[in-house]
Amino acid sequence: MADVTVTGALAAEAYVYGYPLVYELTVAGACARKGIGALPPTPFNAFAHARQLADHHDSFVSVSNDTMYSVAQLDLSGGPLMLHVPDADGAYYVLQFVDAWTNNFAYVGTRATGTGEGRWLIVPPGWAGREPAGVRGVVDAPTAVVTLVGRWACAGADDLPRVTALQERLALETVDGAVHPTGLPTPEPGVADALGFFEKLRVWLADFPPSAADAAYQERFQPLGLLEEGPSPYVSPDPGLAKALKDGFAEGRARIEEAAARPAADAAPGEWLLDPHAHDYNLDHFGVGALDSPQWRTADREESYLVRAVAARTSFWGSHGYEAVHARVFTDSAGERLNGSRAYTLRFEQPPPVGAFWSVTMYDTPDHYLVANPIGRYAVGDRTPGLVRADDGSLTLHIRQDRPSDPVEAANWLPSPPGDFRPMARLYLPEAPVLDGTYRLPPIERRR
């Protein structure tokens, strides 16, 4: 076995590299067993639909309140699936395909394929069959398990029937009509909880291999036992290996947390953290609707592993920046932490330049959940009814815990929690000024 110190460092690299795979498949399994957030437990190869807009009862980190979710975990090991998409009649939606490594590799929806009705054949790796007649295209999956994340624009409670009708017409079916076996490979029992992460990684590496370039990189983890097939080396591990893996787990996790916190620490006072390239770690597989361009690929492959891990930790299932960008802010224009004991304003002289819509959603910290409030308003955006704009067309949002007494301010009120908070701006189909940094979201100003 390699020197314990070296192996411990290697285990930290393996943790960063493998964290997205383990987290993605853990969530996929949880979706089938117990559901996630507002989505009920649903078997593989079927859609789970959110039936209401998210609210403060949802315990999903940074959940969106301006779109309705339809999520399916796909197991293609038994063969292709046919996806039926309804006619959205011009309304925004996206179906985002995420492989087992959290790489976004295809999109169907308003930007990518339009809003018309159609059928799409989703095929497993290495498939060499014949495309059926009448399909709009083929989605080639790089891994046998895929997450399909659907987001439907929803303007509020009055818009729910329209979205629900679209969800009901969204469907998956096997091409041959047979029931295919589904599920995830099971880690070997008897492995101590402290080594459970690496046992999952070992088993899932074997069944969900990455691209050839990444497979060459992961050969370095052979001394850790991660590439061993058959009986698990972690049931009765060498004490030195067990210690190295435990140390590597802690070091790798700390590395991800540090990288995730770095942009906020380096931000200027009141600066919104907006990175259109936070999900550019897919370097090898570009299907329908995914842009194969150096602009949308992390330049350094080894750097992409940390970028991917941070994205899995902080913006799980986030899309490429050309589909939507999310921006966070933690401080006001003076650099003070945002807190519900104070009142603030956020003034948009011009609306953010987007092709679809935009919103600002309120979250508490440290949980990053939606905030309970007396008017049930969790987000404000260009589709919020009753907003009052100034004569010059500008829009000022009033962010505070208590309802403003002034009617205009009350109409533009975004309620905050009693303690620290962290708003998030979502810009769907951002235009060039957002993507190239020319446009910047205005800072939040303290009022009292």
pLDDT digit string, tens, across residues 89-108: 999 999 999 999 999 999 99
Task: Identify the residue whose tokens are 């095929």.
Answer: 123
pLDDT given for residue 62 in this prediction? 83
pLDDT digit string, tens, across residues 381-404: 999 999 999 999 999 999 999 999
Q: 406 is written with which tokens?
A: 């002034």
- pTM listed for this prediction: 0.94
pLDDT given for residue 367 in this prediction? 82
- Binned at pLDDT 50, 70 and 90, residue 116 comes out as very high
CB distance 431 to 355 below 8 Å: yes
Q: Is the pLDDT of residue 1 over 50?
A: no
Q: Is the pLDDT of residue 302 over 80?
A: yes
> Looking at residues 223-247, what average pLDDT do you find?
94
- Binned at pLDDT 50, 70 and 90, residue 7 comes out as confident
CB distance 443 to 332 below 8 Å: yes
DSSP notation for 133-148: TT-SEEEE-SSSEEEE
**How far is Cα 28 from Cα 197, in angstroms, rounded to an integer?**
16
Which candidate, 310, 312, 321, places its Cα nearest to that of 264? 310
pLDDT given for residue 353 in this prediction? 97
Q: 223 is written with which tokens?
A: 């001394």
pLDDT digit string, tens, across residues 117-157: 999 999 999 999 999 999 999 999 999 999 999 999 999 88
pLDDT digit string, tens, across residues 408-442: 999 999 999 999 999 999 999 999 999 999 999 99
Q: What percent of the chain has pLDDT over 90?
A: 89
Give the pairing type, strands 145-153 and 93-99. Answer: antiparallel
Q: 123 is written with which tokens?
A: 């095929």
DSSP notation for 405-443: SSHHHHHTEEE--SSBB--EEEEESB-HHHHTT-S-PPP
Least confident window among 4-18, 309-323, 326-340 = 4-18
* Strands of the sheet with 171-174, listed across from one edge: 137-140, 118-123, 81-85, 171-174
DSSP notation for 10-60: HHHHHHHHHHHHHHHHHHHHHHHHT-BTTBPP--TTSEEE--S---TT--S
**What residue ranges define each of the domains in the chain, with the CATH number in brackets?**
4-21+185-261 (1.10.3360), 34-174 (2.60.40.1610), 268-446 (2.60.120.600)
**How far is Cα 426 from Cα 437, in angstroms, rounded to an integer?**
15
pLDDT digit string, tens, across residues 341-372: 999 999 999 999 999 999 999 999 888 899 99
